[in-house]
Amino acid sequence: MKKTNFNRLLKRYLNGQVSEEERRKLEAWLDVMKTAEGSTLELEEEDEERLFRKITSNITNVEEVIAFRPQGSKMRTLLSNHWFQFAAAFVLLLAVSYTIWYVTDRQSSPQEVIAKNDIEKVILNDGTIVWLHKDSKLTYFQKAGGGDRHATLAGEALFEVAKDPDKPFTISCGTVSLKVLGTSFSLKTSDERIELKVLTGKVHLSSEINKAGVNVAPNEKVIYTSNGLIEKIKLDAVDITAITARTEYDMHFTNTTMDLVAEKIEKKFNVELTVENKQLNKCRITADFTDHSLDTTLKMISELLEIGYTINRSTVVITGKGCH
């Protein structure tokens, strides 16, 4: 059987690599795919592609997927329809697999966020920080026990992915896939193109059409179009400023007092930071903590100022003698 985008979508469903919205649409369609008296539809390749696009589109809702009516497909009995024999077995496997996933990984429910304001910050379970632009949708899932990290994005966002070499971070945008470890980048998606701008680290972009893909290095921009073409461009200072505008991404300090550094840390990581010795607030810091986790940032400060710190959930306490 020729592998179509729809077949690949079913496979991603099995592997738990579809978004929550795609899962709802696909399961709704599976519920109504059988017709009366043991007959069903044999989908032509063109119809499969149309159905695939409806399920993966950001602007199509569940009702539109259910109302999908093939144009070139034919009605055949269940026994004579080889395509449906495969599909029926596959659907059964899907149902069993989903049940197993629900029972074993129920505690690891996906995080799903739709930005209602200009830019909204989301801190994922693994520590990754995402700044979502208005009306953008992010879904994130990591299997129980700390397995691979999966996300989907519809819209635009700035990612600062938590560093974890043993747990790759994969982002799906329709048929396009991005694989990263610990890095920061901007991603903007639409039905026709995807823009990727890398600030730090390295991102690999590939798709069903262009499986080889391309590695994108720091200060590089890639434009991917729906026909599989990839264009790579160098980022300039204006691009970088625009990417990080209205976020707390930039953590570069030059002769900045500790109290101001503490304020930036609180805003970026959504924590409450207490400096026990107020003399520490007069200490001055020149360092770049950009693209570092909360713990790494505090470790770097402790080495600069010879201070101690404790982290308890969303509370940070800093201790030390102060500066002279």
| pLDDT attached to residue 88 | 44
pLDDT for the residue numbered 144: 59
Map out the domains of the chain as residue ranges: 5-106, 109-244, 252-319
Measured distance CA(184)–CA(310) in Å, rounded: 26
Question: Taking each helix axis from N to C terminus, what angle separates 82-105 and 20-32, rounded to the nearest 10 degrees?
Answer: 130
Which pLDDT value is given to residue 15? 60
Q: Which has the closest alpha carbon to 222: 209, 235, 237?
A: 235
- CA trace torsion 257, 263, 269, 273 (10° rounding): 90
What pLDDT sits at residue 259? 94
| CATH architecture for the domain at 109-244 | Sandwich (2.60)
Answer whether 195's CB lies under 8 Å from 157's CB: no
pLDDT of 136 reads: 94
Give the distance, in angstroms, between the CA of residue 222 and the centroid of all CA atoms in the same chain.
Answer: 17
**Tokens coding 217:** 């290095």
Please state the three-class secondary structure of 69-105 as a single string: CCCCCEEEECCCCHHHHHHHHHHHHHHHHHHHHHHHH
Residue segments in the chain with a per-residue pLDDT below the cut of 70: 1-3, 11, 13-16, 30-43, 70-109, 143-146, 324
Using left for φ > 0, alpha for ψ between -120 and 50, and beta otherwise, residue 252 falls in beta
Longest dimension (CA), the chain: 87
252-319 CATH pick, 3.40.50.2000, 3.30.420.40, 3.30.43.10, 3.55.50.30? 3.55.50.30
Whole-number pLDDT of residue 168: 85
